[in-house]
Structure 1
């Protein structure tokens, strides 16, 4: 995504609950370093935040843009991270 490209918006309000987290993680994994997505939800996505912390510690930032009561919007940014020597070994898939 270039600087002129807008962040993807993932509105999961009409998505079946079982399909929401896979869609969100798939979108996140498609982001480049320092790119962000916006999540739109009908409830506080705190459980999703916990899942991000468990699966991707230190690899994202989480910022509430709107906090209910009917709509929650969260900006989730993929942080630019490097390996110890600045080279990627490829084992993490760049996530």
Structure 2
């Protein structure tokens, strides 16, 4: 399962890096993102723009005050 910790990536570059990682995955894989905030804007962006993003399978949990772990599954779409 691909994992991407974006906390050290400048915020302006994070979504591009995440999209690149997601695009490189096979259907059925899940991209795990580690972020310093809940990635709601990214969730909405993916839901609106990426047909292969499985909104139903999205999960996020707060692991620490500055650590959110989000699962972005990829479908066959």
TM tier relative to shorter chain: 0.7 to 0.9
Q: Structure 1 unaligned runs (5+)?
A: 1-6, 82-95
Equivalent position SS for 1:80:
coil
Q: What does residue range 17-36 of structure 1 map to in structure 2 within 5 Å?
A: 17-36=11-30
More helix by share: 2
* TM-score normalized with structure 1 length: 0.70
Aligned to 2:67: 71
Aligned length: 74
| Runs of 4+ with >4 A deviation | none
Equivalent position SS for 1:79:
coil
Q: Which has the higher contact order (CA 8 A, sep 6+)?
A: 2
User: Pairwise CA RMSD of aligned residues?
Assistant: 1.5
Structure ID, larger Rg:
1
Moved more, 18-27 or 49-58: 49-58
1:54: how far off? 1.1
